[in-house]
Amino acid sequence: MIVLALMALPLGVIGDLRSRRGVITFGVTLWSVATAVGGLVTRFWQLFLCRALVGVGEAGYMPASLAIIADYYRGRTRAMAMGVFSVGMALGGVTGIWLGGELALAFGWRRAFLIMGAPGLLLAILASQLREPHRQPPPPLRIALAGWYRRHLPGTLRVARPLIVFTLVGAALGGVLTAFERAASAVDVAVFAACTILGLAWTVARLVPLALEGTARAGRVAASAFEDFLAAAAIVFRTPTLMWIFVGGALVTFAVNGLIAWAPSFLQRAHGMSPVEVGRTFGLLALTGGVLGALVGGRIGDGLQARWAGGRVFASGMGFVLGGPVATALLLVDRGTLFTVLVFGTFFLYTWYNGPLAAAILDVVPPPVRATVLGAFVLFSHLAGDAIAPPLIGYLSDRADLRTAMLALPAAGLVGGLVILVAVATVGRDMQRVAQRERGTAA
């Protein structure tokens, strides 16, 4: 998860500057090869490296894919298209867990890795044939980077110093904690993530005044030069909608992925379900609710957007406002018909945001930096959200009980939904600013 988060931003930048199709092809190839090679390892560090490379591959895939979808689907259908994309991810995730377990049971875990990794190579060939909507080609990356290196690298390193320093400090502290047997590995991850988030927040705080100064001088946004790319990226830091979505997105990611991570343990401890029951019963209900929720959320977001600029933001936030009480009830009731309904309802409402939230981000972002901003969102939401959720819930569970600890998840989701709803007041103005810049570029 940490590798995925850290690599999403640089791979998003490469996709915007060079080829999103190339980044997608690279991502699918890398995660497929790394998955398959995981079945051949003989040492722990080899398996560790293979799984980290899977994270790199996934980091390159999602931001570039969503950026291409946004170029093809504009206006009323964008959130629905994003919802269909998220349905594919949900189906693949649940099917992969189920099928991987069946293959491991039948053939052993090594063959399971090999079998699951092989089809991705065919998909990588198909990905290389994707057609990107026409974009004005940028200058050679080597020339652009050389010029940027001479003019801007010292200042960039100075601004990014807090992120660099705190990341190194977090890595060092995590290494020290690993040396002690009593320190759980989850604590190492939490310490590293906390240090990285602190450094990232400090760096963003230092970037805001610089971004405001830079955008005041920026003439127009275009993808024809690296400097124009930087000017477009600077716009992000003065877009209030993105600020609210980033913070709210981290909270709802904390809630959703924390619930997914701890649900099997909760069902086994609180309801006495076996691992097989969890996979077949809970997994099926969660998958059905999640798929329908993603499609319905996309449809609602696009329908509201046709009448109101804040429609997609509203659909994203309301899923968690409505889902908070449902998820809370799910954690408190005993097994029965009501429990089944609550499982379905929780995942139905908690997946509304998948399509509308991504579409809302792209609505307020200039086309040249779409993959970059999505990469930044993945970075922030994972490090500030689901990288923290599992160890924090585990820590609270050790000091109370798992049911009580997991109540923090719907609470965070509710707060995150409310934070996202604040962006309803700003998204219209931010969309108009991007539209004006696009018209200026076309002229």
Would you state the pLDDT for residue 371?
Answer: 79
Q: Dihedral of the CA atoms 225, 230, 235, 241 (nearest 10)?
A: 110
Would you state the pLDDT for residue 439?
Answer: 64
What are the angstrom distances between the C-alpha of 143 and each of 27, 140, 227, 311? 25, 6, 12, 42
Rg of the chain's alpha carbons, rounded to an integer? Answer: 22
What are the angstrom distances between the C-alpha of 266 and each of 325, 339, 346, 399, 412? 18, 13, 15, 16, 18
Q: Which pair of structure tokens corresponds to residue 177?
A: 């904690």
Q: Which of 62, 5, 56 is nearest to 34 (CA)?
A: 56
Q: Which pair of structure tokens corresponds to residue 93?
A: 């995730």
Q: What is the pLDDT of residues 153-192, one digit of tens each?
A: 566 667 667 777 887 887 788 777 776 655 455 677 777 7
Domain annotation for the chain: domains and CATH numbers: 2-129+239-429 (1.20.1250.20), 148-238 (no CATH)
Would you state the pLDDT for residue 212?
Answer: 44
Q: Which of 289, 321, 313, 341 is nearest to 411 (CA)?
A: 321
Contact 147, 226 (CB under 8 A): yes
Q: What is the pTM of this model?
A: 0.70
d(CA 190, CA 174): 9
Q: Which of 20-34, 352-366, 427-441 has the lowest mean pLDDT?
A: 427-441
Would you state the pLDDT for residue 210?
Answer: 54
